[in-house]
Amino acid sequence: MMIVCATRADASGSRVIVVGAGILGSALAATLGRDGRNVLVIERDWSEPDRIVGELLQPGGVKALQQLGLEGCLEGIDAITCNGYAVFYPNEEVLLPYPLDKSHNEGKSFHHGRFVSNLRKAAKESPNVTALEGTVSSLITCPVSDRVLGVSFSQKNADGESASQNAYAPLTIVADGCFSKFRKEYITKDVTCSSNFVGFVLTDCPLPHPNHGHVVLAKPSPILLYQIGTHDTRILVDIPGKLPSVSNGDLKKYMMDVVGPQLPKAVQPSFLKAIESDRPRSMPNSWLPPSTNRREGVILLGDAMNMRHPLTGGGMTVALWDVIHLRKALARDVVPDLGESTRVMAQMVKLHWKRKPLASVVNILAQALYKLFSAGDDENMKNLQKACFGYFKLGGRCVSTPVGLLGG
Ligand SMILES: Cc1cc2nc3c(=O)[nH]c(=O)nc-3n(C[C@H](O)[C@H](O)[C@H](O)COP(=O)(O)OP(=O)(O)OC[C@H]3O[C@@H](n4cnc5c(N)ncnc54)[C@H](O)[C@@H]3O)c2cc1C
């Protein structure tokens, strides 16, 4: 077994291991590296991800990228500007623009993999960052103090054989995403899943309101549409409970009989083509309330620590703001030595409260709006849904306040 120290030997205790180079891990590795920490980031697969998640970044997320000096990651990926939402109720629709403030308030939608590749490139090009391809299999814990000392991970050699290695650092940051392998050891809260999103890509689909996310208040639950490239539009269909089978054709039938007729007319031809030609992809829509990091030597962040329904597209915004908050919490003048657990733990309590104003708003809105928009046949919820739509129609602050909150 080989032993890897997080980048160069560093007596100042400024080394950090980051597990996972997704949205949070890459942005964090770039940021900490630029701030002078020695970072070892271990990702199981550095090739461009192909996923149906994280494709619309709210204006608040764009601003977080700017603060991190990572706004360039939105360039060169055929990203589409998003100025707000269009909500469709049977026979009615309402536009919900992002409120304008001093700066330009716009979101961006894109192919997730292209954005992540740019974030990863920024991480790799940042000073003090070492990037390794490997799958982290366990966190190494001191049997006496219970402190996390580093990670065990496996790497494939040139012959394709796996070799196990250990890496040690005063601090390990786990950002291994929604299916986190490690959270159960450090978090007592459970992940709950209310529904799945099934996604297709529609080609050259004429959206009724270009440069807007489209939310169709369908039965039994909402459908999202947004352009992710010049020719590509993502559709995400929320399906509560168990997914209909793909193999016996039930899912396709559901798409044709239940979903298709509820879509805006202009979208229907591209949708029918997509369900014939595109492979349906699904992802669970999960809820995980946040927790304060309390174990020495380890911090969980991103989807590993906190998730909300993706209806409102808030996950990346929360993750990028968490990078800003963590950067401040662990600034070198505040915590010169990351091995000083008492200081790090005190900062984790502060981090919990610092992230709350944004994360709670995004989390609560996502969960509440999903409940409302998936009213199904519940008469009370249907009335509330109608009231919510009527409220949006009032315009003015009835739009700018909720959409401003949703936009992070
Ligand atoms: C259907 C769906 C749609 C969504 N749409 C949006 C949206 O439009 N806008 C938005 O803001 N949010 C959206 N989200 C949420 C968003 O995708 C997440 O909040 C965000 O990706 C979280 O970032 P992360 O870094 O925590 O995890 P991820 O981005 O998933 O990154 C985790 C990384 O860890 C790596 N990894 C995992 N295990 C290991 C291991 N053992 N060893 C090494 N590496 C490992 C993975 O390969 C991956 O690169 C959506 C979520 C879902 C489910």
pLDDT tens, position by position, 132-179 = 999 999 999 999 999 999 999 999 888 888 899 999 999 999 999 999
In Å, what is the CA distance from 251 to each residue of 198, 232, 243, 244, 309? 9, 22, 7, 5, 21
Encoded tokens for 180: 């986190």
Percent of the chain with pLDDT over 70: 96
pLDDT digits (tens, 9 = 90+) for 312-337: 999 999 999 999 999 999 999 999 99
Within 8 A by CB and 6+ apart from 289, the residues are 189, 306, 363
In the CATH scheme, what architecture does the domain 2-78+109-190+287-370 have?
3-Layer(bba) Sandwich (3.50)
93 alpha carbon – ligand 1 mean position (Å) = 31
What span, in angstroms and rounded, lies between the C-alpha atoms of 125 and 113? 18
- Alpha helices, DSSP H only, in 160-221? 183-186
Residues 330 and 336: their CA atoms lie apart, in Å, by 8
pLDDT digits (tens, 9 = 90+) for 75-126: 999 999 999 999 999 889 999 999 987 666 899 999 999 999 999 999 999 9
CA of 303 to the centre of ligand 1 (A): 6
Nearest to 250 by CA among 231, 275, 226: 275
Give me the pLDDT at residue 198, please: 98
Exposed (0-12), middle (13-18) or buried (19+): which is 94, by Cβ within 10 Å? middle
Check whether the bond before 220 is cis (ω within 30° of 0): yes
Geometric angle at alpha carbon 395, from 393 and 397, rounded to 5°: 135
Is 317 close to ligand 1, i.e. is its CB under 6 Å away?
Answer: yes
Angle at 125 between CA 123 and CA 131, to 5 degrees: 55
- pLDDT surpassing 60 at residue 3: no
What per-residue confidence (pLDDT) applies to 13?
60
Q: Is the C-beta atom of 48 inside 6 A of ligand 1?
A: no
Task: Kindly compute the dihedral angle of the four CA atoms of residues 313, 55, 21, 181, in this order, to the nearest 10 degrees.
Answer: 60
241 class by beta-carbon count within 10 Å (0-12 exposed, 13-18 middle, 19+ buried): exposed
Residues in the chain: 408
- Banded pLDDT at 364 (limits 50, 70, 90): very high
- What integer pLDDT is reported at residue 306 of this predicted model? 98
Name the helix (H) or strand (E) containing 1: none
If pLDDT is split at 50, 70 and 90, which confidence band does 9 have? very low
- Ligand 1, atom nearest to 23 Cα: 25
| pLDDT value, residue 379 | 93
Mean pLDDT across the chain = 94
Residue type, 235: I
For residue 90, what pLDDT is reported?
87
From the CB of residue 407, how many other CB atoms can be counted at a distance below 10 Å? Answer: 28
Residue 7 has pLDDT above 70, yes or no: no
CA of 144 to the centre of ligand 1 (A): 33
**Statement: residue 10 has pLDDT above 50:** no
Q: Is residue 15 over pLDDT 60?
A: yes
Instruction: Please choose, from the candidates 358, 377, 363, the residue with its C-alpha nearest in 3D space to the C-alpha of residue 311.
Output: 363
Neighbours of 396 (CB within 10 A): 7
How many other C-beta atoms lie within 10 A of the C-beta of residue 1?
Answer: 7
- Looking at the CA of residue 116, tell me the nearest atom of ligand 1: 29
- Three-class DSSP category at 150: strand
Q: CB of 227 closer than 6 A to ligand 1?
A: no
**152: nearest Cα among 141, 168, 136, 176:** 136
Find the mean pLDDT for residues 339-362. 96
316 lines ligand 1 (CB under 6 A): yes
> Which pLDDT score is estimated for 4?
52
Residue 160 confidence (pLDDT): 83
Nearest Cα residue to 259 out of 278, 281, 277, 275 = 275
Q: Furthest-apart CA pair in the chain: how many Å?
A: 66
The DSSP secondary-structure symbol of 255 reads I
What is the per-residue pLDDT for 14? 63
Residue 11 has pLDDT above 50, yes or no: no
Calculate mean pLDDT across residues 279-287: 96
Q: Could you give the percent of the chain with pLDDT greater than 90?
A: 92
Domain residue ranges of the chain, discontinuous segments joined by +: 2-78+109-190+287-370
**What does the DSSP 8-state code read for residue 390?**
H
Half-sphere exposure at residue 24, Cβ-oriented, CA atoms within 13 angstroms: 30
List all residues 6 or more positions away from 78 whose beta carbon is below 8 Å from its beta carbon: 110, 111, 114, 229, 230
| pLDDT, greater one: 12 or 394 | 394
Q: Return the ligand 1 atom nearest residue 153 CA.
A: 42
Residue 12 has pLDDT above 70, yes or no: no
Q: Residue 228 carries which DSSP code?
A: -
